[in-house]
Structure 1
């Protein structure tokens, strides 16, 4: 089954290079596609503190896709784990998800902080972060996952 999606917009500004760390202060905007949306599409989003941005790792080539296991960031001191046990960009469907702080909403433009996508990235969806969708109960993760995120934001 083929799934066809149209980007709702594009990332504008922020970083130009997909580096691994220091995304916390990165500011970018998401410009909605004016041929499909009017400003009412973002109405009310300004009353939320954060938005979840779903985007496409469009610069990852077919030959870079991982279907099995690998060492995160190529570090052999971390365990070799399956692609679905990590959040790397070399995913089978190249889908990225990031929770960002909303800085401003202006017409067809959403300014965010902490988006780990680069300038020109196609945005597939924007969702407000609601506490009712937050994980219920305690989270747990392996030590390598905490270590990989130590400098990410």
Structure 2
């Protein structure tokens, strides 16, 4: 334990949201811009044959003092049970790593146009993988009941603002 290693971003998110929020990621479009100093467009060859990507990124806006390695209530909601750090998927993680599955709209050289990526503008991207159906869950899938309530609006389209 205690092994440390260095990971360098291979891309950054361009556009989309500028601040992390808990809900309404539906319809949010952004670009995953692959580092042109390290990669050529050939590195994205064949990605356009896939509808979805799995993107591993770093929660770069997380406050390092806002960690609780024990149990806490999701979104601090008193109606939901206390859950340990590994029962959450939020940005309050010890290594600040996030994983998102998003729709790939278009490949334009080193720009991957995506929708539904729940990472904000300037987020460092650590890895990009095409989504293979065969890597989806196998067997019966179940989850805690509170997650369905909590995530009811997570990928909903944001309502237009009333002025």
Q: Same fold (TM over 0.5)?
A: yes
TM value normalised by structure 1: 0.98
> 1:5 maps to which residue?
7
SS at structure 1 position matched to 2:128: strand
Displacement of 1:118 in angstroms is: 0.3
The partner residue of 2:135 within 113, 133, 136 is 133
Q: Please give the per-residue CA displacement for 1:7-43, whole angstroms capped at 9, x wherever unaligned.
A: 0010000001111101011000000111111101111
1:41 aligned counterpart, secondary structure: helix
Q: Equivalent residue for 1:29?
A: 31
Instruction: Return 5+ residue gaps in structure 2 as ranges.
Output: 156-163
Deviation, structure 1 residue 148? 1.2
**Structure 2 Cα separation of the partners of residues 129 and 24 of structure 1:** 19
1:46 is displaced (CA, Å) by: 0.6
4+ long deviations beyond 4 Å: none
RMSD of aligned Cα (Å): 0.7
Match 1:149 to one of 148, 151, 154: 151
Equivalent residue number for residue 49 of structure 1: 51
**Partner SS, residue 132 of structure 1:** helix
Secondary structure of 1:58 counterpart: coil
2-side partners of 1:59 and 1:17: how far apart? 8
Q: Secondary structure at the match of 2:25?
A: coil
The DSSP-based 3-state class of the residue aligned with 1:124 is strand
**What's 1:108 paired with?**
110
Alignment-derived partner of residue 65 in structure 1: 67
TM-score normalised over the length of structure 2: 0.92
User: What is the alpha-carbon distance in structure 2 between the residues aligned to residue 81 and residue 48 of structure 1?
Assistant: 35
Q: Distance in 2 between matches of 1:65 and 1:93?
A: 10
Name the residue aligned to 2:91: 89
Equivalent-residue separation in structure 1 for 2:24 and 2:63 (angstroms): 24
Q: How many positions carry a matched residue from both structures? A: 153
Q: Which residue of 1 aligns with 2:41?
A: 39
